[in-house]
Structure formats: C-alpha cells, structure tokens
Structure 1
Amino acid sequence: MLSESGSIFYRPKDKKLHADQARQNFVRPGGDHFTLLNVWEQWAETNYSQQFCYEQFLQFKSLSRARDIRDQLAGLCERVEIVVQSNPNSNDITPIQKAITAGYFYNTAQLQKSGDSYRTLKTSQTVYIHPSSSLFQHQPPVKTLLYYELVMTSKSYLRQVMEIKPQWLMEVASHYFKPADLEQSATGDKKMPKTIGSSGDSTRT
C-alpha cells in the first residue's frame, strides 16, 4: 500500500468534493499508514471489488498491484515458515506502529520549537508534513513521527506520516539511536537533537 500510496486516491475535476469526502471517510487515528490499512481492509471485505473502487474514488489498478505485492510477501513468509497473523486487538494499534518503526526507524523526525516544522533525527534537516497527510495541521501537532518518503518541491515534505513514541526507537533500533538523539522529547523540546555521524539522508523522491 505504501509503494502505491501516491496513486491510490483519485480526484475527478467534476467530483472533487465527493472524492475528498470519500478519502476523509477512510482516515483513521494514528496517521496515514492506518488510512491505507483501512482502505485495504475495506477493499478486501468486498472481495477486491472494482465497483467498490469506483464508488470510493480509488484506483483499482493501484490496489491490484498492492494485492500482488502482498501475495508475494505472504508466499515468501510461507516458504520460510513465518506464520502471518492479524493484529489480535484491532483497537490497539501499537503493535503495528512498532512493527513499522522497526523497518523505518531511519525515517523519523521531531517537532521543532516553532511548532510548524520538523527536524529529522540524525540528519537534522528541516522538513514539513505534506498537505495531503491526515496529520497535516493536526492539533495538537504530533511531536515525533515516522515517514515513508521525503519529497523535495518548494520545501522538503514528508509523505505518508505516522505518529510514534520516541522510546520505541530505543526499543527497536538501539543499535542506531543513542539516548542523546532523543533528548529533545525527554526535555519537552528544550533542546534540538544532536547530529551524530550523518552521511546524508536516504530519501526517495
């Protein structure tokens, strides 16, 4: 879903309000990853219906590609005898957040003192949440977040953003982060995170 996230929703010129409302209906607490997960789950419940996509302003081809990728991943898991399990408690999204954080710990940022921008951990780059995100202009602003990709236009924008807790980074990536990297959160934004051994940001545009 992340790999296809830029093309899942479409917005016809003559039905912009309807398309925006349909997209808003998919939004879930926690961030954009859970919006995408909700799209996937609702589509799967319709037995991958093309009509559902048409009614909800979703790109059937994009979702079909996501389904192909998922089937491949499930097949690889089966081959190495990893049991694919659903989240046991759908009301508790923490296990999913931690799992995604374990894979994308490098793509993390914290809110700056100004409150309108973020600074990437380790590389200390000033970045902004993309206007298409469900967390754009969220009140109160999310303090620590994870992003899927960084897009360079007039500013550096974060796409597909999810709220995380800084202590999770020490849990899942203690080999990469030191407590000093996260002291901005611990001290209530009084200090900027230190830049340690940065060799450039591995971003995708």
Structure 2
Amino acid sequence: MERVEIIPESNPSPNDTDPIRKAITAGFFYNCARLQKSSESYTTIKCEQTVHIHPSSSLHKENPKYAVYYELMLTSREFIRQVVEIDDKWLLEVALHYYKKNKIKDAKRKMPKTIKTK
C-alpha cells in the first residue's frame, strides 16, 4: 500500500456493506439488471436482454430490484452469477456517461398489473 500511497482504513461500521457494493457497481456498471414486473426474471438495462439469477446464488429467492453481476451463463436459460444487490441511484452516480437518467427513472414508475389468463 505504501508504493501507491494509499492509506489503509478500516470500515467504521462493519455491517454497512454499501461502500463495498458501490465500489463493485463502479467496476461492473455495464453488467446491471432490473427486476421485471413478473418478479421472475430480470432485464439487462442497456441491452434489454432477459436473464435470471442462477439458482446457486444466495440472492436467487431474494429478488432485489437492481443487481450487478459478474458472469452471464447460458444453459437452458440465460443466468447471471456472482450477483450483488445495488441501489439504482448508484448507477447515475458512477455511470452517468453510460446510462440515461430517464432510463433509470422510468423503471420507478408504477406499471399496470399483468393479468394471467388460463
């Protein structure tokens, strides 16, 4: 750490993972997905590709609204792996050059309820 002149600091609140998750978001902002209305799958924000959280992930049943992932894997479906839950505001903070404000804000609007027919 001395060679790059970084002063190591400990986290004053070890239970607060926001700084770590925000740093991951800054590195992998292009791999971001938003939960779809059906709550069964996700859509990548930039390419609007339908993906699912891999069943081996600890977030598989949690369904976070926004997630950043490391790996996209194709098996029977397209799965995202190494997933971290993020706050959508972080995308505008760390990647305003990549995402448009209206693309993120539109996701917050209330969508009409989907009705399943038999």
Alignment match of 2:79 (pick from 153, 157, 160)? 157
Structure 1: state its 5+ residue gaps.
Answer: 1-76, 192-205
* 1:178 aligned partner: 100
Q: Which has the larger radius of gyration?
A: 1
Equivalent position amino acid for 1:163 in 2: E
* 1:95 aligned partner: 19
Paired with 2:106 and 2:84, the residues of 1 have a C-alpha distance of 19
Provide TM-score, normalisation by structure 2. 0.86
Paired with 1:184 and 1:153, the residues of 2 have a C-alpha distance of 31
Provide TM-score, normalisation by structure 1. 0.51
Pairing of 1:125-164 with structure 2 (within 5 A): 125-138=49-62, 141-164=63-86
Structure 2: state its 5+ residue gaps.
Answer: 113-118
Checking the alignment, whether the CA contact within 8 Å between 1:104 and 1:146 is kept in structure 2 is yes
Between the aligned residues of both structures, percent identity stands at 54
Of the two structures, which has the highest relative contact order with CA contacts closer than 8 Å and spacing of 6 or more? 2
SS of equivalent residue, structure 1 residue 158: strand
**1:85: how far off?**
2.6
SS of equivalent residue, structure 1 residue 79: coil
Checking the alignment, whether the CA contact within 8 Å between 1:166 and 1:185 is kept in structure 2 is no
Which structure 1 residue ranges, 4+ long, deviate > 3 Å from structure 2? none
Paired with 1:117 and 1:184, the residues of 2 have a C-alpha distance of 18
Pairing of 1:39-188 with structure 2 (within 5 A): 77-138=1-62, 141-188=63-110
Higher normalized helix content (fraction of residues)? 1
Paired with 2:57 and 2:72, the residues of 1 have a C-alpha distance of 13
Count, aligned residues:
112
Checking the alignment, whether the CA contact within 8 Å between 1:87 and 1:95 is kept in structure 2 is no
**1:175: how far off?**
1.4
Equivalent position amino acid for 2:49 in 1: Q
Paired with 2:69 and 2:18, the residues of 1 have a C-alpha distance of 16
* 1:13 aligned partner: none
* 2:115 aligned partner: none
